[in-house]
Structure 1
């Protein structure tokens, strides 16, 4: 049988089934859409997290005070020793390190003239703008003062500056942060959010002044940025040796960016697999629906099968006809299912929410191939039943 006649017969056969074929195709399309959507959401989450964690660079190690240790009788002891600004300066002397930023943060009342607001105040050093890729639009960032005796200077985030000074230039003006007075030396460009925290709502002051403001004797964290020709393990070992020599013991915790991304990637993989598994269950339900419809078709169209056999249609031709019918139904379902996901992705992107980042042409091709395969599996047994029918038995049944 020529391919053109085969395709025409299959398409007319599906159109004659009417509502039954539509319901079967719709159910299978929903399963396809569920699999593609869950896979795309998993890829989008992974892309979002990678984008969030790499906006400050990819070569970062965070050092926090304290080390969880296992003691006798199965007990745990959390030893918290201070990290100092001196530790940050010492680490910055390592040849593999480009920047270090000693960080301390808290919430304080920021007042300018008659306006005030409670916002995040972050203590950093003069290297924070280069390390964190902050852009100064007015004035300058914190100068390289003596780290133990810095001047009372502050840099405002874009939203804080607008809230307190509207559209006037705040550089050179005075503000009160808590009980201390600071002179503004710069305003930052909009940076956006990092893991739900608005970076434009922050005020940056010297680390030691932030320690005094929040009544702390140590920094909360030291961010270390290292050169790309070193691995995270090499730099982590250098930092560990240095701080052990300074502290006398390993009373700190190092977290590399690779560790964080690896842990998050494992979590996202589990979520993605679980979501895809639910979609695959829906696919199998749809496949069973197609197989059921094909079996019903074979039973209801037994006279048609007998007539085709009487006209000289071979068993192989009947087999290919019914298999192609099942594959076409599944492929149509795949196209419709992918179209549903594509429309959802387009709508969300127009709303500036790139939820389905993983939707691509390669996914579309994979969807079609998978749909055709499911159609082949679900249609082959009813097709075998039809191909084995003899003309006399089929016509007699009618």
Structure 2
């Protein structure tokens, strides 16, 4: 009887309570890409047409008002394979936290680093060709971290804009760095053995920011000489080296009257000694990258945007290995049917050079993006 009474009371309390409904959202982005490869070994040249899933995902998010100032917040995202080539339900950002209107937001979970978040402001071809055409293909620093505590400050208002400060502290949980299913684990035992922080200024005309990663796992030399007969950039099959990285990144964007936006990024990375670093990463001296880009929304045809971007990254080594240079040249056009649906096309070129080895990897593609 007591159990039945208690259950009845609980149900009546739930019935009398109101909960904010979660928001269901996501994005499906697929493209058809022509990817011929002129490799260092001519017998390994390719001529391939691929369907790419470009960061497709679904998510749930919401907030629950607790007091006039305080809310509980949550969010969870899963990556999807729009082309069916890989497994669904990869890890994307997911967290639970508290948001104070005056003090900011504190989250716990897995999250993009503040340094990674800065690139979305300037990377014109973000996520294109399954992340091979954007800066993820050649830069360090594009990382999502597990076991993290994240702080996001409220906007500090200035006369012409506002400043925001973000920080992430990661716990290695007494383990080595490791790649996960969409996010990476840091090394160390304590909260903050690895961390990331950013400061950004935002206004209608100018966006500028600077960020730093400390011991955040990342890929160095992310693209290699595919199918080359000679050893890869660091000696591994994929051509990359996975290691904890100390990275400094600065970005800037200027929005000019008439629909023109100019963008730039510069960064430098060094390897931080950590358990789990791939052994060959110890030979890396530093990695320096930069990009410049532009977007132009046509004044008399607002649905159309033309854009172009050049990015470059150079990895140097402590031994006698020659510098490894990766360069991306991309141009494209978008047509926005509305705020949710966009069609796009692009053409680009990736060159990889190290001493006498050179690989040329052009790409031409078109795709459709639907946000809901």
Q: Which has the higher contact order (CA 8 A, sep 6+)?
A: 1
Q: TM-score, normalised by structure 2?
A: 0.18
Whose Rg is larger? 1
Q: TM-score, normalised by structure 1?
A: 0.17
Which is richer in strand?
Answer: 2
